[in-house]
Structure formats: C-alpha cells, structure tokens
Chains A and B, each alone.
Chain A
Amino acid sequence: LALPPRVRTGIDEFDKMLDGGFMRGDAVMLAGSAGSGKTTLALQYLVNGAAYGEHGIYLSFEQLPDQLYRDAKNFGWDLPKLEQENKLKVICTSPNLLVEEGGAEALLEEPRKEINARRIVVDSLSHLSMFVKEEDMRLQLYRTLMLFKAKELSSLLLWETPQIAGQTFAISDTGTSFLVDAIVMLKFVEINSTIRNAMVVMKMRGSRHDKHLREYQIGSNGIKVEAAFTDYSGLMSGSPTKNASEKFVEMFKSATKK
C-alpha cells in the first residue's frame, strides 16, 4: 500500500503550515535554542507517526533514553510501551559512531528492519558537529542524509541555535542548512516583557508553506500551534514592535476609555 506523499506531524496547525505535512523522505532541520521545544516536537512527530502506522527511530546522542522516557511521560506518551509494540526504537549512542564507516548501518539497520521504520529523529546535529571536523561535517552529513533517503526514512534533524534571546538565525556555520530539504525554526520573542514562542517554516523545497511566524504553546499534550503574530513586526530580531495600525487602535481604545 502506497504511503501518502505527506508526512503528517499530527500537530494540526503545524501540518497546515506545511501544506499537509513534510514531503515524504525529506530531511527536515528543526532549529531552535535550548528550551524551545525541539525534543518535544520531535517526540510528538514520532508518537503521532506510530498512531498513523509510520514507526520511527529516535537517535539520541546526548540525552539518555530514561530521561526521554521520563520527559515524554509528562506529555502522556508511553515510549517504553511503543517500543514493546515495535512502533518505536530509542537508540542512544555517541555521534562519532554514526559517521564512522559502516556506523550508520550498524546502528540503524537492525532496528529499522525490526520495526519497519519510516521516520527518524536525530538529536542533535549540533552535537554531531562537536565530534566531526568542521571541514568534514558537510560531507558526513550528506552521506548520512542520503542513507536515510535510500532507506525511505523521513528525517527530522534537531539543531541547537546558540542564543536564547535576540537574533538566532545563524542556523549553521557548516553549510548544513543547504543540505536539508526543509527548515523549521523555533524561537523566543519578547513581547510586553513576556517570552513567547514563535515558529516559522523558513524553507520547504518543492512545496508551498506558510510564511507567517506563528505562536505555539507547549502544553500538557505537547506542542500546539496557534495564530500568526500579525500585529507585530521585527519578530525575527527577538524584540518586536507593534505595527502602526495596532498602535493606533490601542491609542483609540485608550482615548475612548477616558
């Protein structure tokens, strides 16, 4: 049975932003600073995938599986149960092993076959870049992504951007952003002295996608995408300003109150 051309994340509004989901087989970079919800979104992608019959592998370089199990449990996701049901595999290893000759095959081929995996999360590329020489990173990543594609795995690659506040668009220094098919950015923005979460699809090769910065919340069921920040400009800088029309409306409201 042919799989649908789109890989749904299961996060309704996010899938709408992606015109139905990621393109099947694509390598997607999910960039964001620490605490922005990359791991949560990635787990949600796999948990929802399991519900759609698209099993997945979570390849972690840093976090141990027991930490992931605990964090996922807070969102009501029972990862050990999914593993027992052969819908998910959590693999934890050192990043240098993935890029060693034959490493990716040795680490992933058996679990991929065992659960007939269609999705993979790599957590994270930034951790991988710590173990691979800068000049080799692009080539090694290209080889790994091609292997994922050859195995018909739709990959979600996590990338930790350095800054928590301000401009966070130095996505990667090694040109890795050119190798991926799509880039989704999670970032913090400060509005009225409050930190809010913004999400944007920056690139999606061969597909239409929403260009708006959308707000998202990390709730008890995971990530929920909400409305676009239409009233503000300069969000990418991390310090947005209200649009003139909005300022006028506020001034008008304030005047009528008086």
Chain B
Amino acid sequence: VILAVQLRNLLADLDRAGSSRFELGEEVLALFQKNPGLIDCPEGLARRIGRTAHEIEADLEYLLTAGVLSARSVGRYRLMFLDRTKVADAQDRSESPKGLK
C-alpha cells in the first residue's frame, strides 16, 4: 500500500511537471506497482502488458532516468526492476517544497 501511494504521488508529480511521457509510463509503472517482484528484460516486460519492446523502450528509459526503475546487465540482457529505495527517495523529494520540478 505504501508503495502504491508513493508511486501515485510520483506520477502525480510527473503529471504536474507536464511530462509528455506521463500516460505511456503509467502503464509500465502500473505493472510494477502491482508486481513489485517483477524483474525482467524489456521484451519480457512488454509481453506482460501486450506490447512490444520497441513500444515501451522510451517509457522504460524515462522511468530509469526518473529513478523509479533500476537496471542490471545479465549476459545479453538488461534486467529492469522497481527500485523501492529510489521510489521512497523520490517520494521524499516530491514532498519537499521544491519537489521534483
């Protein structure tokens, strides 16, 4: 529940910031929000929401840059997963007067 609130606040913050990636990233973020134990490559993540890796490539990069997701290389693949610590940090920042903007 805490994680869900943190992510919702983060999304709201991104929306307020006028991010063009807000709607697209939300779909991927919702997947991680419901399944925090998900750790997968872009192809695997895309498959789980009925998309292709190409379709969500930019969203994943955006969420990596925003600090919501973390990545780790394994052989030929890049694993992506929800970084709960970073989400908590982002939440703290969004609650501060300056926020993420």
Contacts and interface: CB of A to CB of B under 8 A. Distances in A.
A90 B40 CA distance: 13
Interface in B39-63: 39-41, 43-44, 47-48
A94 interface: yes
A92 B37 contact: yes
6 contacts: A64-B31, A65-B35, A65-B37, A92-B35, A94-B43, A97-B77
B93 interface: no
Interface of B: 31, 34-41, 43-44, 47-48, 72, 74-77, 79
Contacts of B77: 96-97, 100, 103
Contacts of A96: 77
Q: Place the interface of chain A in its size category.
A: 10 to 19
A100 B76 contact: yes
B39 A92 contact: yes
Nearest to B75: A100
Contacts of B44: 93-94, 97
Given A64-B48, A94-B41, A97-B41, A106 B79 contact: yes
Interface string A60-98: 000011100000000000000001000001111110110
User: SS class of chain A's interface: helix, strand, loop or mixed?
Assistant: mixed
Given A94-B44, A97-B44, A97-B79, A106 B38 contact: no
Interface string A83-125: 1000001111110110011110011000000000000000000
B38 A64 contact: yes
B75 A107 contact: no
B37 A89 contact: yes
A64 B48 CA distance: 8
Contact of B74 (A66, A92, A97): A97
